[in-house]
Amino acid sequence: MPSAYPSPGVLGLVCLFSGMVTAALWRAITYPFRSDCASTFHKDVFFAALRTMLHRITIAQSRYLSPSTTTTYLNFCKEKTLGPVTLRCSREDGTTVLAHWIGSPDAEVVVLYLHGGGYTQPATAGYCHYWHHLTEVSNALGKARSASALLLEYSLAPYERFPIQLTEVVAVLLELINERRRSPSTIILSGDSAGGGLALSLLSHLLHPHPEVRPIKLSGPLCGALLFSPWVSFQTDHDSVTRNANKDMIVPTMLRRWAAMYLDKSNEDPETDPGAVHGDSYSEPASNDATWWEGMHRIVSDVFVWSGGDEVFADPIKDFGVGFKKGWTEGGGEAERALFVETPRRSHIEPIMGFMIDRQKNGDDQEAVEVWLNGRLEK
């Protein structure tokens, strides 16, 4: 671990967890007297603990506490008694890129999934369980095409910065198309939060090749893009950041610190608040005007973006959607193929987070996701 990120230390971890417990207890005690709460008591208390953790946790602490994406995947396979299957390919510099199959590599449609975590955190087991469940449910319906998921282990900030992560998504997509002979029409691009932002970076690259990344010329559009609460703007002055501060799990200080790490714009002490952080057309999708997205229907056939009315990202996603849909339609795309759905009283990545908390959850937010996904399997 680089010297800028020393050992987390016992005292630091004790302070972190004691702060989380204190925040959760205080939230539980005061819940009946609050009006700015999450939609349920359990979520409200859980999110209070998460906000405290995300405000305080350092990269050293998170690396100590969280196993790598590969380790998490292997543990998931062991729990489910599944044989792990990993796709290996290379970045342009020869570095190996790993992506892990959840379901059969021979499925007719593959969901290339980019996990969230602020570009600094590995995938958690919940992502593996979510996609295992979602593909099993879809396949059980007997749709025309079977589905599986492919979880990318992209490099994490601050040790690797953008556009390295984009080069890794490109490497996997090229492997699927050129080496595995998959038609783009059998690939769905998906991601949540930071992973949703990275998915949009890939779509931008496919339409406007990034000067530092291998270009990809598709033989036809991708089957679809399914995004959950994508991180489209690094700005933290949107009204929903304040309005939903106590209804969601995300905190602005975390967003600014982790965005700066991702873009190599941190302070000398990267764990301090860098203030406002700005990306570019590829790393910060909301920074583009509508013309940037013209012609996107030739890159991806259908787009579904889900967000929650109670999440911090509600306003930036809504604003981004206006520009994206304008560019989509003015460039020749059919309006009904670029869907932005906001579910009231739902928080950040609620379809996934709800499943992580309660494996049997199946609310209207999750139903909207499943209807869209199953629709792509009918073609």
Tens-digit pLDDT string for the chain (379 aa): 344 455 787 889 999 999 999 999 999 999 999 999 999 999 999 999 999 999 999 999 999 999 999 999 999 999 999 999 999 999 989 999 999 999 999 999 999 999 999 999 999 999 999 999 999 999 999 889 999 999 999 999 999 999 999 999 999 999 999 999 999 999 999 999 999 999 999 999 999 999 999 999 999 999 999 999 999 999 999 999 999 999 999 999 999 999 999 999 999 999 999 999 999 999 999 999 999 999 999 999 999 999 999 999 999 999 999 999 999 999 999 999 999 999 999 999 999 998 888 765 668 899 999 999 999 999 6
Residue 3, pLDDT score: 43
Dist CA 24 CA 262 (whole Å): 30
Phi, psi (deg, nearest 5) at residue 152: -80, 135
Strand segments (E) across the chain: 86-90, 96-102, 109-114, 147-153, 187-192, 224-228, 303-308, 338-343
pLDDT of residue 6: 59
CA distances from 25 to 51, 250, 303 (A): 13, 19, 41
On whether the CB atoms of residues 290 and 329 are closer than 8 A, the answer is: no
pTM of the model: 0.96
| Token digits of residue 180 | 């595995």
Annotated domain spans of the chain: 10-63, 68-376
pLDDT for the residue 368 = 94
The pair of structure tokens assigned to 339 is: 């869907």
Distance CA 251, CA 286 (A): 19
What topology is assigned to 68-376 in CATH?
Rossmann fold (3.40.50)
pLDDT of residue 357: 80
pLDDT of residue 359: 64
Per-residue pLDDT at 360: 58
